[in-house]
Amino acid sequence: MKRIAVIGGGITGITTAYTLAKRGLDVTVYEKHRYAAMETSFANGGQLSASNAEVWNNWQTVMKGIKWMSRRDAPLLVNPKPSWHKLSWFAEFIAAIPQYEKNTTETARLAIAARDHLFAWAQEEGIDFDLKKQGILHIYRDKAGFDHAEKVSRLLAAGGLERRSVTPEEMKSIEPTLAGNYYGGFFTESDSTGDIHKFTNGLADAIKRLGVKTCYGHTVTELSADERNAWVTALDGTEQSRDTFDGVVICAGVGSRGLAKKLGDRVNIYPVKGYSITVELDDEASQKAAPTVSLLDDATKIVTSRLGDGRFRVAGTAEFSGYNRDIKDDRIRPLTRWVEQCFPGVCTRKVVPWAGLRPMLPNMMPRVGPGRLPTVFYNTGHGHLGWTLSAITAELVAESVTGDSR
């Protein structure tokens, strides 16, 4: 039986461990936190959204980033302070613009393939994660945004996704609580939402039942490999351990770049900070005034999910400011204001803020598969679609490790 180490206990690490264990491998997960899903998989927007598969590599995104540099509350904020990491990332981002259409279509195809796996796992393992299969509604306030979305719809359709345009009147029937004036929208009935943290922890319990060894609270300090083995050195408080494996899979989010360098690979992930708020719906009026259908506001880059009866998750913005994890008030306030404008009946007295670092590669596509050495594999760099793509990339990397396609 092959012994495989998985580095990272977020959504990609836990799903990877699950697919490997289901194939009969001896798996060990290393996670620096005491529990699974404590960083980027903690409080994201909640959408399982093939309809959000559009990659960002276009000149429109570049121009918006330049225009918004002076706005601290901008949906896309780039810290102008230069670094070689940031400059190299943006150079490769621009170089990937010619692949915009192909990568958008491929991402949609992957997102659709991921659904069946994720839902099947949840059913098989009895995981309750506040799943809502009520679709996602994209909203547009002007013709320019709507026309761009129409072009994107054609790319998504090439990947197998069906989404339809809807009038303002149809939008109101889909989500009656939505306030404001809109030019139109697009509705994807096959998309869904759920709590990523609850799902990941449910699957983390499942991998233990499958015999996976979970080393929580273990920080990987050294990592090396050759043609036949991989070695992981980890620190648990003051105690250090070193183990030998037949292979290693890097699922370490924004930490993957540094680990890849130790293994002789270049994985140019940049941390792109996203923010969320969880609005606690403590009163009946707020529960009735909050939407049940998931929304995506393309102009503000805000997404929403209803998590059970009592929570309303609102997430968005992209901030290029290195590995800074601070929760900034001027990035949280626009999310709260958006709720108050679009859903004025929701009480925002009790709002829980959060920020996480999305691991993004310049071409917006995840790195899935082998590294330079035959004992090294990657499942990382999913950007804003880690939750959406996690199940299919876990299956793909498991196939790569075992040579067994199902």
Q: What is the pLDDT of residues 179-215, one digit of tens each?
A: 999 999 999 999 999 999 999 999 999 999 999 999 9
Q: Which fold has domain 3-402?
A: FAD/NAD(P)-binding domain (3.50.50)
What's the pLDDT score for residue 405? 64
DSSP single-letter state for residue 15: H
> Letter for the amino acid at 351?
V
- Dihedral of the CA atoms 195, 199, 200, 204 (nearest 10)? 150
- Residue 302, SS3? strand
Residues 6+ apart with CB under 8 A from 25: 1, 2, 3, 4, 401, 402
pLDDT value for 79: 85
Measure the CA–CA gap between 260 and 361, rounded to whole angstroms.
13
**Average pLDDT over every residue of 390-394:** 98
Task: Output the pTM of the full model.
Answer: 0.97
What would the mean pLDDT of 355-379 be, rounded to a whole number? 98
Q: What is the mean pLDDT of the chain?
A: 96
* Domain spans in the chain, listed from the N-terminal domain onward: 3-402
Higher per-residue confidence, 132 vs 299: 132
Can you give the pLDDT at residue 325?
Answer: 94
Average pLDDT score over residue span 57-86: 87
pLDDT of residue 73: 83
pLDDT of residue 68: 81
pLDDT, tens only, 310-354: 999 999 999 999 999 999 999 999 999 999 999 999 999 999 999
Whether 131 shows a pLDDT value over 90: the answer reads: yes
Q: Sort residue 126 into left (φ over 0), alpha (ψ -120 to 50) or beta.
A: left
The token duo for 131 is: 């799943």
Q: Which of these ranges, 1-5, 64-68, 298-302, has the smallest mean pLDDT?
A: 64-68
Q: Which of 234, 253, 251, 250 minimizes the C-alpha distance to 242? A: 234
Give the Cα separation of 390 and 398 in Å (integer): 12
Predicted pLDDT at 163: 97
Which tokens in the block code for residue 94?
């621009």
What pLDDT does residue 65 have?
84
Give 1's pLDDT tier (boundaries 50, 70, 90).
low
Residue 397 has pLDDT above 90, yes or no: yes
Residue 69 backbone phi and psi in degrees, to 5: -55, -30
Q: Please give the DSSP secondary-structure letter assigned to residue 213.
A: E
Is residue 315 within 8 Å of 335, Cβ to Cβ?
yes
Largest CA distance in the chain: 63
The pLDDT assigned to 309 comes to 96
Mean pLDDT of 275-291: 98
Q: Degrees (nearest 5) of the Cα angle 49, 125, 44?
A: 30
Q: What is the pLDDT of residues 214-227, one digit of tens each?
A: 999 999 999 999 99
